[in-house]
Structure 1
């Protein structure tokens, strides 16, 4: 569904990413891990069109999008979340989702694109999908951090994406909320969406991912099933001092 071929990104004299090739298929979850500064978020930014690579090629559903904008990629079925909150705190949960549904209306892939499509039914359906039924009237600023992350997922799912990029969706979430978020993400993958997820909660990555890609110093160190990655000496060395 989405493929990076020999992607590189240089800023001035610094090589942030170098010759990274990865793909994610429909109904697959690719976990992207690596030490801090490995280039994980930079890679997600390149996949989503926020950043343009200095070398390499990106294809989305078999169409080259290397130079396409983030908006164009969204219209082609790509959605993403960010490390930091993108919610409107002064609006309710339902109003945040309604805005996402309305924005998704520009996408030919969106099932909500008809006039008046940002209905209460569509909003409640998305909130129910992320385990927040009946929370439409709650102000975003009054939600727990775990529910804020769920709301961000609901907004990312408003366009019914074919490809979903998640950049540390568990960041700052309490231990009791992690499993619930993981269950939602698993259901999204099982629905046929191609999911690429950067995450530092290793037990989540190892429990969810079909494959794990390990970035180190901007390069692809290894990629394969979770069990192979945890047993790989190179991966263990890259994570020296970190639990796998």
Structure 2
């Protein structure tokens, strides 16, 4: 289990982005972090992946303090991360990235499986260079495929995986998450606003203003979120009705 204990993070100029974040990411569960834009969700994902270091608090993995570990050390211990905005790699092909993630040479059967899960044809993409020639959606799907290929992953972190992909690929992605949930001992942490992703979560954490507003089982949290969303739309409908 990954535990975040009173995590705080400030920018060098002093802006406080995360404030006293305490939560658990349990093994064998899918935890979805949601909330308003600018609330600190992506910052939290970067803290977990080791792309940023907290200014307060600590992170523990199975009881071991990993707060000082960088991204490489965390990756070695099974924490994998899919960026919200895919990174470009001049000179590296899709095959190269998948094999780096898997830490071994891959045959076409496995490459087809990883790329097929994100809606890409392996024959068309396996030798493509991961540079600016790829569209944003293509880069996003390849990024997700590398996380799926990670060997011995303990925690897979996906930052808004639905961004920039088409409906068919999104449907495939939902199926991928459902399969990953069935893998014993592996934790999923997904940053998302999408209701279909929230519907398959085991736990939902709502981050707003850099703080945990609420957290708990999907069966409890999701109905509240949907009711709040519905209520927020009602005044707008009433205003339009009065204007008529």
Matches of 1:186 and 1:95, distance apart in 2: 27
Which of 204, 216, 220 aligns to 2:212? It is 220
Deviation readout 1:49-77 (Å, 9 max, x if unpaired): 11111111101233110111111111111
* C-alpha contact (below 8 Å) 1:229/1:235 kept by paired residues: no
How far residue 128 of structure 1 moved from its aligned partner, in angstroms, is 4.9
How far residue 232 of structure 1 moved from its aligned partner, in angstroms, is 3.2
* Partner residue in 2 for 1:153: 144
* C-alpha contact (below 8 Å) 1:221/1:234 kept by paired residues: no
TM-score in terms of structure 1 length: 0.80
RMSD over aligned CA atoms reads 2.9
* Partner residue in 1 for 2:83: 82
* Partner residue in 2 for 1:184: 176
TM-score in terms of structure 2 length: 0.80
Deviation readout 1:114-165 (Å, 9 max, x if unpaired): xxx4555654454355554643535256767555433212212333211111
* Partner residue in 2 for 1:171: 163
* C-alpha contact (below 8 Å) 2:97/2:146 kept by paired residues: yes
Counterparts of 1:81-100 in structure 2, within 5 Å, are 81-88=82-89, 91-100=92-101
How far residue 241 of structure 1 moved from its aligned partner, in angstroms, is 5.4
Matches of 1:86 and 1:219, distance apart in 2: 28
SS in 1 for 2:193: coil
Deviation readout 1:181-236 (Å, 9 max, x if unpaired): 111122122213201110122x2232221010001101100011234223437992
Matches of 2:159 and 2:211, distance apart in 1: 18
SS in 2 for 1:232: helix
Between Structure 1 and Structure 2, the one with more helix by share is 2
* Partner residue in 2 for 1:6: 6
Counterparts of 1:117-136 in structure 2, within 5 Å, are 117=105, 123-124=111-112, 126-128=114-116, 130=118, 132=120, 134-135=122-123, 136=125
* C-alpha contact (below 8 Å) 2:33/2:192 kept by paired residues: yes
Matches of 2:57 and 2:98, distance apart in 1: 35
SS in 1 for 2:149: coil
Uncovered stretches (5+) of structure 2, i.e. residues with no partner: 235-244
Uncovered stretches (5+) of structure 1, i.e. residues with no partner: 106-111
Structure 1 range deviating more: 149-158 or 92-101: 92-101
Which of 193, 196, 199 aligns to 1:200? It is 193
